[in-house]
Amino acid sequence: MARSASLEQSPWLPSFGWWPHPSELGISVILSSHHASAEEGSYYDIVLRGYADGPEPVWEHEVGRLNRGEERVVALDGLDLPEPPVDRGGIVEVHAIRHDRPPKANVGFVGMWIEAVGRAGGGYLIPTIPIRGQKKIVQRDDLQVIPGIVSSREAETEIVLLNPIETSTEARLVASSASGLVSESEWFTIGPWSAWRGKISNHVPRVRQLLAQDGGVGGLAVYSSHKLLPYFGFTRPGQPLVCMDHSAPLFA
Amino acid sequence: MTQSLISRVRQLGRRDGAERAADATQAPYVCHCKHVHYADVDKAIRKGARSMADIQRATTACTRCFGCRFELERMLQDAYGDAYHRQSTITLPDGVRGTRLPRSMYMPVLAGFRGYDVDTRVIVFNWEGPAHPIGFRADLLTLDGTRVQAIEHSVASGSSAILDFRGDDAGSRLPGGVGVVKLILETEEVGSLRPYFHLLTPTCISSTHEKKGPADPAKLKERNYHWIFPIGKGRRNDEAYFFYTNTQAVPMEGQRLVWQSTGGAVESTELPTLEFSQSACIPLHERFETLNAGEGGAVRLDPPLHAVAGFMLRHEPEAQLWRVQHL
Beta bridge partners, B149, equal B11, B140
Nearest to B201 by CA among B102, B77, B320, B51: B320
- Quick one: pLDDT at residue B17? 41
- Looking at residue B259, the DSSP 8-state letter turns out to be E
- Confidence bin at B98 (pLDDT 50/70/90): low
Q: Which of B136, B200, B203 to mutate to test the interface with A (most CBs of A within 10 A)?
A: B203
pLDDT at A3 (0 to 100): 55
Q: Which of residues 8-27 of A touch B (CB under 8 A)?
A: 26-27
d(CA A247, CA B39) in angstroms, rounded, equals 44
DSSP per-residue letters across A8-56: TT-SEE-EEEEE--TTTEEEEEEEEHHHH---TT-EEEEEEEEESSSSS
Considering only CB atoms, A239 lies closest to which of B124, B204, B209, namely B204
Among the partner residues A71, A217, A245, nearest to B297 by beta-carbon distance: A71
Q: Hey, are the CB atoms on A30 and B297 less than 8 Å from each other?
A: yes
Within 8 A of B262 by CB-CB distance, chain A residues are 71-73
Put simply, the answer to whether A125 touches B162 (Cβ < 8 Å) is no
Torsion angle of C-alpha atoms B174, B177, B178, B182, degrees rounded to 10: 50
| B212-to-B31, B106, B117, B130 alpha-carbon distances in Å | 20, 6, 27, 20
Neighbours of B111 (CB within 10 A): 25
The whole-angstrom separation of Cα A178 and Cα A215 is 10
Vertex B194 angle, CA B192 and B197, to 5°: 135
Task: Return the pLDDT at B325.
Answer: 94
By the CB < 8 Å criterion, does A142 face chain B? no
Is A54 in CB contact (< 8 Å) with chain B?
no
Q: Which of chain A's residues have a Cβ under 8 Å away from the Cβ of B296?
A: 28, 30, 73, 75
- Rounded to whole angstroms, the Cα distance separating A161 from A151 reads 18
Q: Concatenated DSSP letters for B186-250?
A: SSS--TT---EEEEE-SS-EEEEE-EEPPSSTT-----SS--EEEE-SS----EEEEEEEE-SSS
Closest residue of A to B319, CA-based? A121
Angle between helices B52-59 and B38-46 (to 10 degrees): 120
CA B285 to chain centre: 23
Distance CA A28, CA B258 (A): 20
Chain B nearest-CA residue for A251: B191
User: How many interface pairs between A and B have CB atoms less than 8 angstroms apart?
Assistant: 189
A125 vs B contacts (CB less than 8 Å) = 230, 312, 314, 323, 325
How far apart CA A48 and CA A69 sit, in angstroms, is 20
H or E element at residue B38: helix B38-46
Number of Cβ within a 10 Å radius of residue B267: 16
A1/B91 Cα distance (integer angstroms): 52
Which one-letter DSSP state was computed for residue B252? B
Asked whether the beta carbons of residue A113 and residue B230 sit closer than 8 angstroms, the reply is: yes
Q: What is the DSSP string of B73-112?
A: HHHHHHHHGGG----SS----GGGTTPPPP--EEEEEESS
ipTM of the complex: 0.94
Taking residue B288's Cβ as centre, other Cβ atoms within 10 Å add up to: 23
Quick: pLDDT tens for B278-289: 999 999 999 999
Residue B19 predicted with pLDDT over 60: no
User: B160, A178: Cβ pair inside 8 Å?
Assistant: yes
Distances (CA, A) of A190 to A130, A169, A198, B122: 18, 5, 12, 31
Across B61-78, average pLDDT? 83
- pLDDT < 50: residue spans in chain A: 1
pLDDT digits (tens, 9 = 90+) for A24-47: 999 999 999 999 999 999 999 999
Chain B residues inside the 8 Å CB shell of A126: 325
Rounded to 5 degrees, φ, ψ at A8 are -65, -25
pLDDT of residue B9: 31
Yes or no, beta carbons of B127 and A176 under 8 Å apart: yes
pLDDT per residue as tens digits for the range B48-67: 999 888 898 899 888 777 77
* C-alpha to C-alpha distance for A117 and A115, rounded to whole angstroms: 7
Q: Which residues of A touch B226 (CB under 8 A)?
A: 32, 34-35, 38
Q: Does the pLDDT of residue B95 top 80, yes or no?
A: no
Q: What is the pLDDT confidence band of residue B11, given thresholds at 50, 70 and 90?
A: very low
Cβ–Cβ of A145/B127 closer than 8 Å?
Answer: yes
A64 touching B (Cβ < 8 Å): no
A125, A139, A146: residue with CB nearest B325: A125
Position B264, amino acid: G
Closest residue by Cα to residue A93 from A124, A151, A65, A52: A52
> Side chain identity at A93, as an amino acid letter?
E
Q: Which residues sit opposite A59 in a β-bridge?
A: A50
Q: What is the pLDDT of residue B89?
A: 67
Residue B222 is predicted with a pLDDT of 80
**Distance in Å, alpha carbon of A109 to nearest chain B alpha carbon:** 13
Gap between the Cα atoms of B130 and A127, Å rounded: 30
Do residue A234 and residue B203 have CB atoms under 8 angstroms apart?
Answer: no
Please answer yes or no on whether B260 and A34 come within 8 Å at the CB atom: yes
Residues 81-110 of A with CB under 8 A from B: none
Q: Could you give the dihedral angle defined by the CA atoms of residues A94, A97, A101 and A103, in that order, rounded to the nearest 10 degrees?
A: 50
**CA B209, CA B128: separation in Å to the nearest integer?**
18
Q: What angle do CA B127, B131, B132 make, to 5 degrees?
A: 115
- pTM, two decimal places: 0.86
Closest CA relative to residue B282, chosen from B294, B265, B296, B299? B299
Query: Chain B contacts of A242, Cβ < 8 Å?
Result: 204-206, 321-323
Lowest-confidence segment of B14-23, B42-51, B143-152, B294-303 by average pLDDT: B14-23
In this structure, chain A runs to a length of: 252
DSSP class of residue B169 equals: T
- pLDDT tier for residue B21 given thresholds of 50, 70 and 90: very low
pLDDT tens digit sequence for B187-237:
776 677 889 999 999 999 999 999 999 888 878 878 889 999 999 998 778
Across the interface, whether the CB atoms of B230 and A115 are under 8 A apart is answered yes
Å between B147 CA and nearest CA of chain A = 25
CB contact under 8 A, A26 and B234: yes
Query: Which chain B residue shows the shortest CA-CA distance from A250?
Result: B191
Strand, helix or coil for residue A116: strand
pLDDT value for B5: 32
Q: In Å, how far is A34's CA from the nearest CA of chain B?
A: 5
- The answer to whether residue A63 neighbours chain B at the CB level (below 8 Å) is no
Closest CA to A35 of B324, B13, B226: B226
Give dist(CA B290, CA B260) in Å, integer.
Answer: 9
- In this complex, do A122 and B262 lie within 8 Å of one another by their Cβ atoms? no
Please give, rounded to a whole number of angstroms, the shortest distance from the CA of A225 to a CA of chain B: 17
Residue A86 is classified by DSSP as T
Q: Is residue B73 over pLDDT 90?
A: no
Backbone angles phi, psi at B56, to 5 degrees: -60, -45
Packing angle of the helix pair B38-46, B69-80 (nearest 10 deg): 40
Of A27, A150, A243, the CB nearest to B323: A243
Average pLDDT, chain B: 86
CB-CB under 8 Å, B232 with A117 = yes
